[in-house]
Amino acid sequence: MGGFTTVARYRDGLQQLGHVCELHGADGDGGQQQALIDAIGRFQPDIVHAHDVRRCGVQLLGSRTPWVISVSGEDLHQDVIDSEHGPIVCEVMRRARRVLVPSEHAAELVAARVPGAASKVDVVARAATSLPTDGTDLRRSLGIQRQRFLVFLPGGIRPVKAQHRAISAIPKLRAAGADIEMIIAGAVQDEDYARKLQAEVDDTTGVRLMPSLARERMGAAYADADVVLNTSVFEGAAPTILEAGMLGRPVIASDVPGNRALIRHKETGLLFGDEESLAKQILALYRNRTAAGTLGVRVREDFMRRFSADREVAGLLSAYAAA
């Protein structure tokens, strides 16, 4: 439930080990909750795993089937302290058999914000998978020259992803003589923010805003990029960073705890604190392609070692057994 790419990977990994799994979508309304209850009654699972507390976990309150919950970045950094959603989000975490988080920092946040759940937290690092790169060539389809430095910023269009932070960097870099272009691509998840972002893009030369790319095109899009950005205000374990890193693309990401759990600054990528720092880091990689390539090699090697699919599935099974 929720985060389809992640839960589909969970399902595939578990099925490869002989476990029978069924996915069930959720959008939080009563009809979907009843459909979930009906699915549990029909399937009679040993355990139910809800992905994201507010979007999916709330629907399991009162369920007699053992259930665990994966906590998202928004659950921990936003929903748990929200006056409207906070009480129910905390209650879901307290009632779950196990609470799964992607990093030690997230585990510490659960313990601090929901003390009643502290004793049942499992750290299950997200797996990094390598996407196929034989999809449609992004540069060719958009008419972007091969020599132009391409900055790719993927992710859902909503305030927490803060794509607007990157826009101001591009005209500064172009004014400095950098042959550079940025593509922002993602599904609209907040209409007001998307309208404001589009207006900024329309006023900025060298920036394009595109709809979300199909999954089969994402690998080729990463491969076309000279650098991949993450500008989020907070993160859990960003799939875009994991995907880009596994394809050896250099990453520049906002300096927030979730990103620091993935990227080691100046070793496997770059972290920025403000827009001025972001512009300087893009320019540094533009001017030193060898350094950019070295970061790409290092992040891929690091992700292959730390974020394997086997380790992820083993973590899931351990949490399920404890539940």
Is 132 inside a domain boundary? no
Regarding whether 290 and 143 lie in a shared domain, the answer is yes
Q: What is the pLDDT at residue 1?
A: 38
Is 16 inside a domain boundary? yes
What is the pTM for the complete model shown?
0.90
Regarding whether 275 and 185 lie in a shared domain, the answer is yes
Q: What is the pLDDT at residue 4?
A: 78
Q: What is the pLDDT at residue 39?
A: 80
Regarding whether 251 and 193 lie in a shared domain, the answer is yes
Regarding whether 77 and 204 lie in a shared domain, the answer is no
Regarding whether 121 and 15 lie in a shared domain, the answer is yes
Is 102 inside a domain boundary? yes
Percent residues over pLDDT 70 in the chain: 96
Is 171 inside a domain boundary? yes
Question: At 291, which CATH number?
Answer: 3.40.50.2000
Q: What is the pLDDT of residues 156-211, one digit of tens each?
A: 999 999 999 999 999 999 999 999 999 999 999 999 999 999 999 999 999 999 99
Q: What is the pLDDT at residue 28?
A: 42
H, E, C per residue of the chain: CCCHHHHHHHHHHHHHCCCCCCCCCCCCCHHHHHHHHHHHHHHCCCCEEEECCCCCHHHHCCCCCCEEEECCHHHHHCHHHCCCCHHHHHHHHHHCCEEEECCHHHHHHHHHHCHHHHHHEEECCCCCCCCCCCCCCHHHHHCCCCCCEEEEEECCECHHHCCHHHHCHHHHHHHCCCCEEEEEECCECCHHHHHHHHHHHHCCCCEEEECCCCHHHHHHHHHHCCEEEECCCCCCCCHHHHHHHHCCCCEEEECCHHHHCCCCECCCEEEECCHHHHHHHHHHHHHCHHHHHHHHHHHHHHHHHHCCHHHHHHHHHHHHHHC
Regarding whether 312 and 299 lie in a shared domain, the answer is no
Q: Domain of residue 192: give its range.
A: 138-306
Regarding whether 147 and 115 lie in a shared domain, the answer is no
Average of per-residue pLDDT values in the chain? 92
Q: What is the pLDDT at residue 32?
A: 60
Q: What is the mean pLDDT of residues 310-318?
A: 96
Regarding whether 251 and 109 lie in a shared domain, the answer is no
Q: What is the pLDDT at residue 54?
A: 87
Q: Please state the domain count of the chain.
A: 2
Q: What is the pLDDT of residues 14-59, one digit of tens each?
A: 999 999 998 876 544 444 666 777 788 888 899 999 988 988 888 8
Q: What is the pLDDT at residue 33?
A: 63
Regarding whether 117 and 12 lie in a shared domain, the answer is yes
Q: What is the mean pLDDT of residues 244-258?
A: 97
Regarding whether 165 and 239 lie in a shared domain, the answer is yes
Q: What is the pLDDT of residues 127-162, one digit of tens each?
A: 998 999 998 788 988 999 999 999 999 999 999 999
Is 133 inside a domain boundary? no
Is 249 inside a domain boundary? yes
Q: Which of 62-66, 201-205, 217-221, 229-233 has the lowest mean pLDDT?
A: 62-66
Percent residues over pLDDT 90 in the chain: 77
Regarding whether 93 and 11 lie in a shared domain, the answer is yes
Q: What is the pLDDT of residues 60-75, one digit of tens each?
A: 888 889 999 999 888 9
Q: What is the pLDDT at residue 30?
A: 46
Regarding whether 110 and 173 lie in a shared domain, the answer is no
